[in-house]
Amino acid sequence: MSIQFEIEATHGPARLGKMTTPHGIVETPVFMPVGTLASVKGVPQDLLEDLGVQILLGNTYHLYLRPGVETVRRMGGLHGFMSWNRAILTDSGGFQVFSLNELRKVTEEGVTFRSHLDGSSHFFSPESAMEAEIGLGADIIMAFDECTEFPAEPARARASMEMTLRWAERSKRYFEAHKQEVPWGSYQPSAISHQQKQIPRPLAPENDNDGGIQAGANQSLFGIVQGGMDLVLRKESAERTVEIGFPGYAIGGLSVGEPREVTREVVEATLQYLPADQPRYLMGVGTPDEIAMYAAMGVDMMDCVLPTRAARHGLLFTSEGKVSIKQARYASDPAPLDPACSCRVCTRYSRAYLRHLYAANEVLAQVLNTIHNLSFYLDTMRRVRHSIRLGEGARFLSGVSSQPKP
């Protein structure tokens, strides 16, 4: 058993779902905070649990370079290593390698790239990316794909899509042959069995969501739809990826510099070709308004570095719009950051204090800002789920935009 996905309610194309993973239940539509290096920068795991985070994202490229897959695997995978007993998803490294631009070379076999840390040369293929993702042990792992650059000529977009399809098949073949090697699975290769004994014991269950792992549980490999911004290619990519057969599907290759309206069009055009009874993951988007909009369109899972990265730069999302906390106008402002937000930052601290922390370059500024932004994103998705359950389409979008809550 890998994941189970149940749709509990729908409203138009929007779906309220429950995804059961080997490490607990994820209510969808869900926003997944990004924990690039097995850490959501500045926020400890117990706090993420308090915020209601049910699934985190880790980046294979970064973890492969540092601390290395073998180190993580010996600690029981990411769950054991970072002491996080809820669900985790890892990307395949394809997008990160794509972002290296001048530091990479793509062939049919895979991608040779240089580490952004020390310039050392590395190679990712569908097989080696799967090996890394199995070693990291996330509940959901992604096929190795090529993210098509924007803009791309039609012939280039097609060639890239075709290669991603071939890589998807190779990813699946390797995964099916090796999935039992996941560090928390029932089977352990003898070579590492003596090290397995040193793995920290699984965390005691704290609630229903943190229960033990079922015997025989495995990771789930999701396919990724590419095709650039060409809607015909997107349709073909979706249909042919579905033909290969995965327990869930992602829409990749977006947020690469295209206008937001184009992103929306591509998502809308692609969603209709993905199976209605399986999870759909839109990679790398977006603002609070956008994630609500995509959920309304029928997306079940999203991730984005925006709330955490913006927070570290003093940019905060609130029910009254964006706030740049560094501005002098907040220096003596006794009001909470967002009067409509019930997070632990907004219920305790003033804008003046947050502005001071930021201006003084205090580490706490990054911590508090990140906690608020994550809370705001998670609350946005909670409201979206609530609206789908109640069948309230209109409130759905307006409730998360610039309108203050009543």
The yes-or-no answer on residue 91 being catalytic is: yes
Asked if residue 230 lies in contact with residue 157, where contact means CB atoms within 8 angstroms, the answer is yes
- Smallest gap from Cβ 20 to Zn ion, in A, equals 30
CA 46, 367, 283, 169 dihedral sign is negative
Query: Of 38, 72, 182, 341, which one interacts with Zn ion (CB under 5 A)?
Result: 341
Cα end-to-end span (Å), the chain: 44
- Smallest gap from Cβ 376 to Zn ion, in A, equals 6
Query: Of 69, 372, 373, 380, which one interacts with Zn ion (CB under 5 A)?
Result: 372
**Single-letter code of the amino acid located at 145:** D
SS3 117: coil
The yes-or-no answer on residue 303 being catalytic is: yes
CA pair distance 327, 330, nearest whole angstrom: 6
- Smallest gap from Cβ 341 to Zn ion, in A, equals 3
CA-to-CA separations, 128 to 83, 171, 178, 220, in angstroms, rounded: 25, 9, 11, 17
CA-to-CA separations, 40 to 56, 59, 143, 363, 375, in angstroms, rounded: 8, 11, 23, 14, 13
Size of the site for Zn ion (CB under 5 A): 5
- Smallest gap from Cβ 222 to Zn ion, in A, equals 32
User: Is residue 26 within the footprint of Zn ion (CB under 5 A)?
Assistant: no
SS3 233: helix
Q: Rule CB under 5 A: which of 345-364 touch Zn ion? A: 345-346
Beta strands 280-282 and 301-303: pairing type?
Answer: parallel
Q: Rule CB under 5 A: which of 226-255 touch Zn ion? A: none
Catalytic residue among 91, 139, 230, 338: 91
Query: Of 221, 269, 343, 368, which one interacts with Zn ion (CB under 5 A)?
Result: 343
Stretch that binds Zn ion, among 207-215, 217-225, 243-251, 365-373 (CB under 5 A): 365-373
Give DSSP secondary structure letters for 136-201. HT-SEEE----PPPSS--HHHHHHHHHHHHHHHHHHHHHHHHHGGG-TTSS---GGGHHHHTTSPP
User: Is residue 161 within the footprint of Zn ion (CB under 5 A)?
Assistant: no
Q: Which is nearer to Zn ion, 143 or 343 (CB)?
A: 343
- Smallest gap from Cβ 228 to Zn ion, in A, equals 38
Catalytic residue among 145, 303, 338, 379: 303
Stretch that binds Zn ion, among 28-36, 161-169, 239-247, 344-352 (CB under 5 A): 344-352
Asked if residue 17 lies in contact with residue 9, where contact means CB atoms within 8 angstroms, the answer is no
User: Is residue 43 within the footprint of Zn ion (CB under 5 A)?
Assistant: no
Stretch that binds Zn ion, among 22-30, 44-52, 302-310, 369-377 (CB under 5 A): 369-377
- Smallest gap from Cβ 382 to Zn ion, in A, equals 13
Active-site positions read 91, 303
Binding residues for Zn ion (CB under 5 A): 341, 343, 345-346, 372
